[in-house]
Structure 1
Amino acid sequence: MPRPLILGSTSIYRRELLQRLQLPFSVVAPQVDESPLSNELPLALAARLALAKAQAVAKTFPDSVVIGSDQVADLHGVPLGKPGNHDNAVRQLRQMRGNTVVFHTAVAVVCSSTAFVAEAVVPVRVTFRNLSDAEIDYYLHTERPYDCAGSAKSEGLGIALLERIENTDPTALIGLPLIQTSAMLRAAGVHVLRPPT
């Protein structure tokens, strides 16, 4: 019997991405404080939170394979999280325009009963156009990406904010790097391309 698979996340974007692998899975909200530690760098923050989310859910479901993930936008070493509202999103996009931002998307896979732990961070370099205030305002009122790190949804209208995307996994920017996740699941004994028995 394959072990149950759990996505330890409340993100609809991660849920939609994981569905692409056509594996049965359930969703459990991890109870994790996402506040950054003092002087914590964006990459370290993303990695710590992804692992903490997976471990928090795995404590309750020790026989399951649990996926945790987190994404932090990094503007010259300063973390940019989810804006939460319009004013914060305007501030973020004004800071990012004309700059290259690294989106650190971390993923962790944990199974407590087998002591399996794997973690990785997949960076995506995103160069923003030199946006006008009017473009920023129009975009935010149209897309309302207030639940997205860095206030930009590249899978929607947000692609028009950008000049360039550089990465090794096209799903990392959306919130869950499926190439890396598939590899980690295989290592944990969950095979995406193996027919169910």
Structure 2
Amino acid sequence: MPLLILASSSAYRRELLQRLDLPFEAVAPDIDETPLDGETPQATALRLARAKAQAVAQRHPGALVIGSDQVATLDGLQIGKPGDHPRALAQLQLMRGREVVFHTALCLWDGRVADPDQAAQVENVQVRVAFRDLPDHELDAYLRIEQPYDCAGSAKNEGLGIALLDSIQSNDPTALTGLPLIALTGMLRKAGVPFFGV
């Protein structure tokens, strides 16, 4: 099996990939993640997932490289990572009682394939999340406990943030955390990666 690399510095994505019980390395892709003017959220997520995988693949010839990116949207507008408490609170206030769509894009770059047009498998997994209509003091208290300032949408569904949510709709339950494992295992199988030791 070729070297498997996760093109990410995200602890959440590393934890998810560890579930597959495959040896891998994590390498930060170091790319500009700014959305392009007029770019749709889905297009942004797909472009960045591919760019991350390709950037790391160039430094590790012959490897299988996983790139992923997530863009949260409300009414079609992108919601980024808040970075600090005031911005996170503003995000949660905006989203309460509303539905937010998360686009989690995935790219598996096969460095064994010479043609760059054929090297990448890409997919966008959508997750629809309904937020509860909670008062400011609860939103503020949540943020002070979990401090999810590095998460698009300011809530960690794998932690206490689940209490902010009314429902999650997706074909891939791990997509909301940042790495759609159902889609990924399908891509890895197509690339010849064995599971269960066989």
C-alpha distance in 2 between matches for 1:57 and 1:189: 20
Counterpart secondary structure, 1:151: coil
**2:191 matched to which residue of 1?**
188
* Paired residue type of 2:2: R
How far does residue 171 in structure 1 lie from its aligned partner after superposition?
Answer: 0.6
**How high is the TM-score relative to the length of structure 2?**
0.95
Query: Alignment identity in percent?
Result: 58
Over the aligned positions, Cα root-mean-square deviation in angstroms equals: 0.9
C-alpha distance in 1 between matches for 2:131 and 2:25: 35
How far does residue 20 in structure 1 lie from its aligned partner after superposition?
Answer: 0.2
Q: Deviations over 1:78-110 (max 9, x none)?
A: 111111110110111111111100111111000
**2:71 matched to which residue of 1?**
72
Does residue 170 of structure 2 align to residue 178 of structure 1? no
**2:141 matched to which residue of 1?**
138
Q: Deviations over 1:48-93 (max 9, x none)?
A: 1000000000111121000000111011111111111101101111
Q: Deviations over 1:150-195 (max 9, x none)?
A: 1010111101101111111111111100000000111112122343
**How high is the TM-score relative to the length of structure 1?**
0.96
**1:26 matched to which residue of 2?**
25
> Number of matched residues?
194
C-alpha distance in 1 between matches for 2:134 and 2:27: 38
| Cα pair 1:62 1:111 within 8 Å, conserved | no
How far does residue 125 in structure 1 lie from its aligned partner after superposition?
Answer: 0.3
* Paired residue type of 2:188: L
* Paired residue type of 1:135: E
| Structure 1 ranges of 4+ moved more than 6 A | none
For structure 2, the 5+ residue unaligned runs are none
